[in-house]
Chains A and B, each alone.
Chain A
Amino acid sequence: MGRFTLQSRIDCGDRTTSVALLEIRELSIRYRTAGAGVQAIDGVSLELEAGGSLGLVGESGCGKSTLALATLRLLPPQAELAGTIRFAGQDVGGMKERQLRQIRWRRAAYVPQSAQNALVPVHSLRAQFRATAAAHRMRATEADRRAAALMRRVELDPALLERFPHELSGGMRQRAIIAMALLFEPELLVADEPTTGLDVIVQRQTVNLLRDLRAERNLALLFISHDIGVVAELCERIAVLYAGRVMETGATADVLGSPSHPYTIGLRRSFPDIRDPERPAVSIAGHPPRLAEALAACPFAPRCPFAQPVCVAVQPPLVAIAEGHAAACHFAGDAAAMRSAANRPGLWDGARAA
């Protein structure tokens, strides 16, 4: 299985170990602003294998979109980047625009957060498929042929290709973008909250569609959502992001089965559980910190019910708890105790120790 092209790429590269499709090392991203700037991503390392799936969860403002855009170097000019991003072994950070164009959409496609305004309002869908094709030297006839097939694949009538974005519903637009994303059979799909803002039924359809596409095309998926339940359904691995840092990461079953960071524990409780529908959803009181300000050593400390004085003094490192499962909490070793304490009523509404 897998991509033979990728294999050959690895062979002629200077690395001999197996190379992840997407490899992010110590990535930090800062937006220059009128004030002190915004540290949107702070020392994040992630990996995604070819054909694999990684879910990025976290509340709004945690830096998820910033990370998604960074993978394809789509950030606005005021964003400063440190660390490395490698796609199929190539350093994306050092690429010229011309080289980036070889990767963008052809090998890595992107489904943006707001399908609302992501399609060009003044062009028909067909025109947008064709423009995408033309950017990669694909003929219009070939583009038309593929567009019709892909529209059918995402269960849209190919006749809709003649329509303009405003004539479609939000769910249809979302599907049209997914169809367009498949135009060149990419190896990676970065989907930034593709289900946000859609109603429950359409959300479900989108999740099912992405799952089926992944299976049938060996598509690697970087899936972003604030909804931990949706991520659990689609992704083999999860990274929980808070204030631009990874709080916990590991196989989905491990992270959700035995969450070892208070933020993950809280986040999981704030969405209804399909396996335990009786349990009420309790949200974590407070808001994620504004990233323009200096953070506590553990950024979650101001909202954490288990916080101790050490939490504001010493930054907790991301340490392994088990094989392939890590958390950035001083008390990750006592995770079992925190998990059982988490059921105490009232724990999450504004409690803070320290």
Chain B
Amino acid sequence: MAFWRYAGRRGLHTAVTLLLLVGFMFVLFRMIPGDPTTMMLGTGELPAEAQQRLRVLWGLDRPLWQQFIAYALNLLQGNLGMSFYFRRPVSEVIAPMLANTVLLMAPVVILAIVIGVAGGSWLGWRRGGRAEEIGAVLALIPRALPVFWTGIVLLALFAYQFRWFPIGGIREAFFFPENWWQRLPFFDITRHLVLPVATGVLASVADPLMIQRTALLEVRHEDFMVLARARGLSGRAQRRLARRNAILPVLTYSAIMVGFAFGGQVLLEVVFNWPGIGRLMVDSVTQRDYPVAQAAFLMMAAVVVFLNLLVDLAYGWLDPRIRGG
């Protein structure tokens, strides 16, 4: 009950955040010099009269707030305008790219958190040992390296040298399975996912790992852990209890991590030639395809906001103290 009230409140916050976000994006893109009529043709070579006709046609002569309402209403219907470059509706251009991005990003974030929590708990429980020092260093090294560097090293090793994995892209244009397991659904996509996911996880696993380790060290000294021993709980039950109570800071962090993951995501998509929204964003900016760029930014931001909502809900689910206030 308390949880659902909490969830409702969080949902409302998210809606308000999204609205502000849309407004912000709208204003931001209006601040770019020129307007679509000049941008569309790059240098504004359109005759002044034709330009004016287009302005009226597109409603650019109306006050900004009216434009915003029209824009927001269009957005609600999934209408994001036409791409200058592809000459197709933006939503059509963006939808598959967004799906590809989520396909790459979700496993990166989930694996980084799962591996980080498991590894951090392990290290925290073995505080002070040799294994702990080595483990912590091993986790911190790839974090210090640039994403594109790690990516290129993995490519050089596992794609060029050993030829275990493809060089990039999301699927082979003509893929002929040679045996039953290659015939499995998603085999080709999974094969393409391995290296970019590995790169992303390597780059981002250290933070949840170190946070979980620290949190676990702190939890171990809590009174309830002493009482858990006094209650006769087994070693396994004690470790589970510690992990369960130490996970909350990681959860808080994962909301931030998701935001950062997008930065890394763009690089991942460029290095691995992954047809996602990050690469689309870079391309659309260079091509001055401004409706696509705006939509791509908006989608990225919206994904971050939604993932934050998910994290908040998980937090409320896992920590009864949060639901109240």
Contacts and interface: CB of A to CB of B under 8 A. Distances in A.
B314 interface: no
Contacts of B245: 120-122
A121 to B, nearest CB: 6
B172 interface: no
A101 interface: yes
Nearest to A107: B232
A74 B229 contact: yes
B228 interface: yes
A184 to B, nearest CB: 9
B224 interface: yes
A122 B318 contact: yes
Interface in B274-325: 318-321, 324
Interface in A110-127: 110, 112-114, 116-122, 124
Contacts of B232: 101-102, 104-106, 132, 135-136
Given A74-B226, A74-B229, A122 B244 contact: yes
Interface in A43-86: 69, 72, 74, 76
Q: Determine chain A's interface SS by DSSP, over half rule.
A: loop
Contact of B234 (A101, A106, A124, A167): A101
Contact of B222 (A110, A117, A132, A135): A117
Contacts of B237: 131, 134-135
B241 to A, nearest CB: 6
B320 A97 contact: no
Contact of A120 (B241, B318, B324): B241
A164 B231 contact: no
B286 to A, nearest CB: 49
Nearest to B227: A118
Contact-residue bracket for chain B: 20 to 34
B188 to A, nearest CB: 42
Contacts of B222: 117
Given A117-B224, A118-B227, A120-B224, A131 B233 contact: yes
A234 interface: no
B230 A105 contact: yes
B33 interface: no
A238 B215 CA distance: 40
B240 to A, nearest CB: 10
A9 interface: no
A148 B247 CA distance: 31
A116 B244 contact: no
B223 A114 contact: yes
A27 B324 CA distance: 47
A97 B235 contact: yes
Of B221, B223, B231, B237, most buried by chain A (CB within 10 Å of CB) is: B231
A131 B226 CA distance: 15
Contact of A105 (B231, B244, B319): B231
Given A97-B235, A135-B237, A166-B321, A119 B224 contact: yes
Of B230, B241, B244, most buried by chain A (CB within 10 Å of CB) is: B230
Contacts of A164: 320-321
A166 B320 contact: yes
Contacts of A119: 224, 227
Given A97-B235, A112-B223, A135-B237, A72 B244 contact: no
A270 B132 CA distance: 49
Interface residues of A, number: 33
B303 to A, nearest CB: 29
A22 interface: no
Interface in A86-104: 97, 101-102, 104
A234 B224 CA distance: 26
Contacts of A136: 232
Nearest to B233: A135
Nearest to B229: A74
Contacts of A117: 222-224
Interface in B210-261: 221-224, 226-235, 237, 241, 244-245
Of B232, B233, B318, B319, most buried by chain A (CB within 10 Å of CB) is: B232
B3 to A, nearest CB: 12
A166 B325 CA distance: 12
A109 interface: yes
A18 B241 CA distance: 40
Contacts of A134: 237
A72 B241 CA distance: 20
A76 B320 CA distance: 29
Contacts of B226: 69, 74, 112, 118
A17 B232 CA distance: 30
Given A118-B223, A135-B237, A104 B321 contact: no
B130 to A, nearest CB: 16
B227 A104 contact: no
Of A74, A113, A118, A177, most buried by chain B (CB within 10 Å of CB) is: A118
Nearest to A180: B231
Lowest 6 A-B CB distances belong to which pairs? A104-B232, A110-B230, A164-B320, A105-B232, A117-B223, A118-B223
Given A74-B226, A116-B223, 7 more contacts: A74-B229, A105-B232, A118-B223, A118-B224, A122-B244, A131-B231, A135-B233
Interface of A: 69, 72, 74, 76, 97, 101-102, 104-106, 109-110, 112-114, 116-122, 124, 131-132, 134-136, 164, 166-167, 177, 180
